[in-house]
Amino acid sequence: MLDPRSASIRHCARCGGSLRHQHRDGRERPVCTDCGAVVYLDPKVACGVLVMRRRAILLVQRRNEPGRGLWCLPCGFADADEAPEAAAAREAFEETGLRITIGALVGAYHYRDDPRGAGILLVYRGRAARGVAQAHDDAAAVGWFALDGLPPLSHAPHRLAIADATRRTRRPLPERTDSH
Ligand SMILES: [Zn+2]
């Protein structure tokens, strides 16, 4: 599946010329028919945070598409000059009003199912300062949910991240069988 953006980008950002898909650097890419610039669609970088309190997970209900009305981890896109940990904390604060201390990385999850572009979701563990979570910004609601009572989630990577972060026993690495 191509990046959803590849169908919607029509003009060269450098000269305004039209783009046509051509084979470049091993695959089809949009190429400007006027100046020859090749458009490389970098992944978007989304940053989320997984916060638990008394075995409940902090989730936000999405006010906007995609996934409007569904729930997800507090998350948002990083700016290019912003560290992902800072983006995760900023987005969580904007959406929930809680100051979050960012901890270890839970995982990196590639996705291609968002119309705003394919990307990589980085999910960190987080610890919330005292306070009551309140919905702000692009969150319609916020809530704490027990693992066995999660509401419908908007994006598959969020479900994967929650599973990765809450799995009790990690699968051990395979034992080495070579004799060197
Ligand atoms: Zn051009």
Q: How far is the CA of 41 from the centre of ligand 1 (A)?
A: 15
Q: How far is the CA of 138 from the centre of ligand 1 (A)?
A: 35
Of 44 and 138, the one with more pLDDT:
44
Q: How far is the CA of 5 from the centre of ligand 1 (A)?
A: 18
Q: How far is the CA of 102 from the centre of ligand 1 (A)?
A: 41
pTM of the model: 0.85
Predicted pLDDT at 7: 77
3-state SS, residue 59: strand
Q: How far is the CA of 1 from the centre of ligand 1 (A)?
A: 25
Mean pLDDT is lowest, of 4-8, 20-24, 156-160, 166-170, for 166-170
| Average pLDDT estimate for 135-155 | 93
Q: Which two tokens stand for residue 157?
A: 């990577």
Q: Which two tokens stand for residue 134?
A: 């309140």
Q: How far is the CA of 79 from the centre of ligand 1 (A)?
A: 25
pLDDT at 102 over 60: yes
Q: What is the helix (H) or strand (E) element at residue 161, kind and residue range?
A: helix 156-166
Q: How far is the CA of 35 from the centre of ligand 1 (A)?
A: 4
Q: How far is the CA of 117 from the centre of ligand 1 (A)?
A: 21
Q: How far is the CA of 32 from the centre of ligand 1 (A)?
A: 5
Q: How far is the CA of 19 from the centre of ligand 1 (A)?
A: 8
Q: How far is the CA of 17 from the centre of ligand 1 (A)?
A: 5
Q: What is the helix (H) or strand (E) element at residue 79, kind and residue range?
A: none
Q: Name 62's bridge partners.
A: 139
Q: Compute the Cα dihedral for 146, 150, 155, 159 and give only its sign.
A: positive
Spatial CA neighbour of 92 closest among 127, 40, 43, 118? 127
